[in-house]
């Protein structure tokens, strides 16, 4: 497939990284979600780089201080450049059935579906790499030094333009090889309002139960990515519509449609809008607390007001809700503990005897204040009044400088103009 000239607004440090690899004699491209987002007129959340250099060669080019080889099933290099972390992977080809069937532990797993890929470390050419990717919209390559776009499957640009999720190759086989691809497909549907091509959709319905065989660590990582994106509510909706949620987050699936769950999704949507609009930073623990709040209120009933007393019962109730809600996924302890603290502080905001100064000194004040504002916005309360009453972290209560940061440099988010609701679900039409 010939390369076509195409100008995309790529950040300078990414161009530098690619040209460093090219200067060392290795073919290198931006691949994956960044190209998809740029063609849709959206700002990429990060850049994935693919190159002919092996992981060791990448490490040699950037040096051990900036480059670290990670992963077993899929080895790649984390390269730090310009203060940002990039994932640099070596071109892969589809692994042979023999090499794919042996896990990183060196064992064959007879109990798993026949075609499941347990190890994906067979290196190949750029074109082979494109064909082993999951969906046509994810298989575009871009060389930002030459401003060239390459659509090896010949279908990616058209599918982005018409909003279609199409598996590359035989969709049933691709989902059996790696059931996480079904979750990835539904994220695309939710996030961009894309629809499925018929064969991919049929395969998804047929193969959905295989998601049980996906490695738990990969699913937990997906949950982290969902909670740290600004599209999480849209992902969950697509998962529910297609029946994936009962495997992925069964507690939320069971509660789906109930007033408590509706409220949780409204809060989560509000949080996502505020992240997308730059009002508050993206935090996984805050996302967890936001989704969990209505379930905590339901569980504690009128006792919710006593949570701030930090009683063991209250703490156990909150921990129990968080555990149930996100099971069977395992969230990092640090995030769960932070979400617990954010939830515990909520009751303090409404407590007439609570001392604002004391509350503001808490490490979780910024997140907890943000959750208060989210709640208030969803309930159509007076957000501006609360913003005044509870200043952002770093602001003194009277006449202090407000730079929106606390001592740890944690952003609290300052006053911002009233935001627009109902973002358009689709980005701009792609340029051709
Ligand atoms: P995001 O914007 O969420 O990062 P992404 O598509 O870039 O979306 P990544 O997980 O960063 O998702 O993966 C980068 C690229 O690697 C994908 O676009 C796709 O081409 C390829 N890829 C990722 N996971 C798989 C998979 N399970 N099977 C095949 N290809 C995959
Ligand atoms: Mg990506």
Quick: pLDDT tens for 313-351. Answer: 778 889 999 999 999 999 999 999 999 999 988 877 776
Residue minimizing CA distance to atom 4 of ligand 1: 33
- What CA–CA distances, in Å, run from 94 to 133, 157, 168, 322, 330? 9, 22, 12, 39, 30
For residue 134 the two structure tokens come to: 């999951």
- For residue 36, is pLDDT > 60? yes
- Strands (DSSP E) along 154-262, which ranges? 164-165, 195-196
Supply the pLDDT for residue 100.
64
- Pocket flag, ligand 1, residue 95 (CB < 6 Å): no
Residue minimizing CA distance to atom 2 of ligand 1: 33
Contact partners, residue 9, CB within 8 Å, separation at least 6: 38
For residue 19 the two structure tokens come to: 């040209």
Supply the pLDDT for residue 352.
61
Task: Average the pLDDT over 360-386 and give the result.
Answer: 92
pLDDT-derived band at 187 (thresholds 50, 70, 90) equals very high
62 within 8 A of 85, measured Cβ to Cβ: no
Taking every pair of Cα atoms in the chain, the longest distance, rounded to a whole number of angstroms, is 70
Mean confidence (pLDDT) of the chain: 86
40 within 8 A of 427, measured Cβ to Cβ: yes
- Pocket flag, ligand 1, residue 138 (CB < 6 Å): yes
Supply the pLDDT for residue 401.
33
6 within 8 A of 148, measured Cβ to Cβ: yes
Q: What is the best residue among 78, 100, 138, 177 to mutate for testing ligand 1's pocket, by most ligand atoms within 8 Å of CB?
A: 138
What's the alpha-carbon Rg for the chain, to the nearest Å? 23
Q: What is the best residue among 133, 141, 160, 182 to mutate for testing ligand 1's pocket, by most ligand atoms within 8 Å of CB?
A: 133
Supply the pLDDT for residue 224.
96
pLDDT-derived band at 307 (thresholds 50, 70, 90) equals low
Residue 141 is inside which H or E element, if any?
strand 140-143
66 within 8 A of 84, measured Cβ to Cβ: no
- For residue 171, is pLDDT > 90? yes
Supply the pLDDT for residue 138.
97
- Pocket flag, ligand 1, residue 92 (CB < 6 Å): no
- Pocket flag, ligand 1, residue 55 (CB < 6 Å): no
Q: What is the best residue among 32, 47, 132 to mutate for testing ligand 1's pocket, by most ligand atoms within 8 Å of CB?
A: 32
115 within 8 A of 152, measured Cβ to Cβ: no
What angle do helix axes 284-300 and 365-378 make, rounded to 10 degrees? 60
Number of Cβ within 10 Å of residue 86's Cβ equals 23
pLDDT-derived band at 122 (thresholds 50, 70, 90) equals confident
pLDDT-derived band at 155 (thresholds 50, 70, 90) equals very high
Beta bridge partners of 48: 31, 87
Query: Residue 33 C-alpha to ligand 2 middle, in angstroms?
Result: 5
The percent of residues in the chain predicted with pLDDT above 90, rounded, is: 69
What is the pTM (predicted TM-score) of this model? 0.87
85 within 8 A of 17, measured Cβ to Cβ: no
- Pocket flag, ligand 1, residue 45 (CB < 6 Å): yes
Residue 78 is inside which H or E element, if any?
strand 76-81
215/220 Cα distance (integer angstroms): 9
Query: Residue 150 C-alpha to ligand 1 middle, in angstroms?
Result: 17
- Pocket flag, ligand 1, residue 315 (CB < 6 Å): no
Supply the pLDDT for residue 400.
35
Ligand in closest contact with the CA of 50: 1
Residue-wise pLDDT tens digits, 418-427: 344 444 333 3
67/78 Cα distance (integer angstroms): 6
- For residue 384, is pLDDT > 50? yes
End-to-end CA distance of the chain: 16
């Amino acid at each position: 497939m010939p390369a076509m000239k195409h100008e995309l607004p790529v950040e300078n440090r990414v161009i530098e990284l690619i040209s460093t690899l090219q200067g060392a004699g290795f073919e290198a491209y931006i691949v994956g979600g960044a190209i998809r987002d740029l063609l849709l007129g959206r700002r990429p959340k990060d850049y994935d780089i693919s190159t002919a250099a092996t992981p060791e060669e990448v490490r040699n080019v950037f040096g051990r201080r900036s480059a670290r080889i990670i992963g077993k099933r899929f080895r790649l290099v984390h390269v730090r450049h310009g203060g940002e972390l990039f994932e640099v992977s070596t071109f892969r080809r589809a692994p042979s059935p023999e090499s794919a069937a042996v896990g990183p532990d060196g064992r064959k797993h007879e109990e798993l579906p026949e075609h499941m890929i347990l190890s994906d470390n067979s290196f190949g050419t750029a074109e082979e790499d494109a064909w082993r990717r999951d969906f046509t919209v994810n298989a575009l390559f871009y060389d930002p030094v030459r401003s060239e776009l390459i659509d090896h499957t010949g279908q990616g640009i058209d599918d982005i333009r018409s909003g279609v999720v199409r598996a590359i190759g035989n969709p049933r086989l691709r989902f059996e090889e790696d059931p996480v691809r079904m979750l990835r497909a539904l994220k695309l549907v939710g996030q961009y309002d894309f629809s499925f091509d018929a064969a991919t959709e049929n395969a998804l319905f047929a193969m959905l139960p295989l998601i049980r065989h996906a490695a738990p660590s990969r699913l937990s990582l997906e949950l982290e990515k969902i909670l740290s994106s600004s599209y999480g509510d849209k992902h969950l909706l697509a998962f529910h519509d297609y029946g994936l949620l009962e495997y992925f987050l069964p507690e939320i699936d069971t509660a789906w449609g109930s007033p408590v769950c509706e409220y949780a999704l409204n809060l989560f949507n509000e949080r996502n809008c505020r992240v997308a609009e730059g009002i508050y930073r993206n935090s996984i623990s805050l996302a967890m607390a936001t989704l969990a709040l209505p379930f905590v209120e339901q569980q504690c009933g009128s006792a919710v007001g006593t949570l701030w007393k930090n009683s063991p019962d209250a703490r156990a109730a909150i921990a129990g809700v968080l555990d149930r809600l996100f099971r069977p996924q395992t969230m990092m302890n640090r995030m769960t503990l932070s979400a617990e603290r954010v939830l515990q502080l909520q009751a303090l905001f409404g407590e007439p005897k609570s001392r604002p100064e004391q509350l503001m000194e808490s490490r979780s004040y910024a997140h907890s204040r943000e959750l208060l504002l989210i709640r208030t916005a969803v309930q159509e309360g007076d957000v501006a009044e609360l913003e005044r009453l509870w200043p952002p972290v770093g602001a003194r209560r009277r006449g202090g400088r407000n730079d929106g940061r606390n001592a740890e440099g944690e952003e609290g988010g300052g006053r911002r103009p009233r935001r627009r609701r109902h973002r358009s679900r689709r980005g701009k039409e792609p340029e051709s």
